[in-house]
């Protein structure tokens, strides 16, 4: 990741949270954040009524495809389509991931073309990190664990999986910081 990106991601998270009236310690409603950004978020299954074939939809939603969400651009406008069959914590992360692409000004491309899936490593890595920062800001994870909360209750509070909460605590240095402070919750 480019130098300074991790710090910037925390700044962006706190800025956006502030704009929707949330602190670092609050649970983020990704749909509300999308609405604030004037970005529509809909389940991809709505496209069946818009002409998508049942066989294509079935194929995309098959678990082996691993489809979580896609942001589709038309000129400067975009819309996020997500997999409504994923667990709520996973769906929140998927929507946060797509919103992250938008706020990080990632260039949309042809994700799939002529039967081939394209992949942009740096954009995906940044979006994954930014999504984590949006959902669980470093300060939020620190305060939660420092006040004798734990990973399970933190995950439930922030509306994310325990795996994501734990990853945030470890990758942002919160867990190490708490260990140094002698905090058993870490």
Partner 1 sequence: MPTTTIDVAALYKALDQKRKLHEISWRELAGRLDISASTFTRMAQGARPDVDAFATLLRWLGEPATNYMRGEEPAPRTPEGSQADLEAIGSLLRSSRSMTPDQANAMENIIRVAWENVVKD
Please report whether residue 2 would count as binding partner 1 according to CB under 8 A: no
- CA 29 to CA 50: how far, in whole Å? 27
| Site string (25-54) toward partner 1, x via CB under 8 A | -----------xxxx----x-xx--xxxx-
Q: How far is the CB of 99 from partner 1 (least distance, A)?
A: 9
- Which residue from 6, 10, 27, 102 is in contact with partner 1, where contact means CB under 8 A? 102
- CA 82 to CA 46: how far, in whole Å? 10
Q: How far is the CB of 167 from partner 1 (least distance, A)?
A: 17
- CA 147 to CA 185: how far, in whole Å? 8
- Which residue from 6, 25, 27, 79 is in contact with partner 1, where contact means CB under 8 A? 79
Please report whether residue 111 would count as binding partner 1 according to CB under 8 A: yes
Residue (of 73, 63, 69, 105) closest to 84 by Cα position = 69
The answer to whether 2 touches 18, Cβ cutoff 8 Å, is no
- CA 158 to CA 135: how far, in whole Å? 7
Can you give the length of the chain in residues? 186
Binding footprint of partner 1 on the chain (CB under 8 A): 12, 15-16, 19, 36-39, 44, 46-47, 50-53, 55-57, 59-60, 62, 64-79, 81, 94, 97-98, 101-103, 105-117, 119, 123, 127
């Amino acid at each position: 990741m480019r130098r300074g990106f991790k710090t910037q991601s925390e700044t962006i998270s706190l800025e956006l949270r502030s704009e929707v009236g949330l602190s670092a310690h609050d649970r983020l409603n990704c749909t509300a954040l999308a609405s604030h950004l004037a970005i529509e978020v809909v389940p991809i299954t709505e496209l069946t009524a818009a002409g998508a074939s049942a066989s294509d939809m079935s194929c995309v939603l098959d678990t082996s495809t691993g489809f979580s969400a896609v942001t589709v651009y038309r000129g400067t406008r975009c819309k996020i389509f997500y997999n409504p069959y994923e667990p709520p914590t996973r769906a929140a992360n998927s929507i946060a991931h797509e919103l992250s692409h938008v706020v990080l000004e990632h260039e949309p491309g042809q994700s799939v073309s002529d039967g081939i899936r394209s992949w942009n490593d740096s954009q995906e890595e940044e979006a994954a990190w930014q999504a984590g920062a949006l959902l669980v800001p470093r300060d939020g994870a620190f305060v939660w664990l420092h006040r004798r909360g734990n990973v399970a209750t933190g995950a439930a509070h922030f509306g994310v999986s325990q795996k994501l909460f734990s990853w945030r605590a470890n990758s942002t240095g919160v867990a190490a910081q708490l260990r140094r402070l002698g905090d058993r919750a870490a």
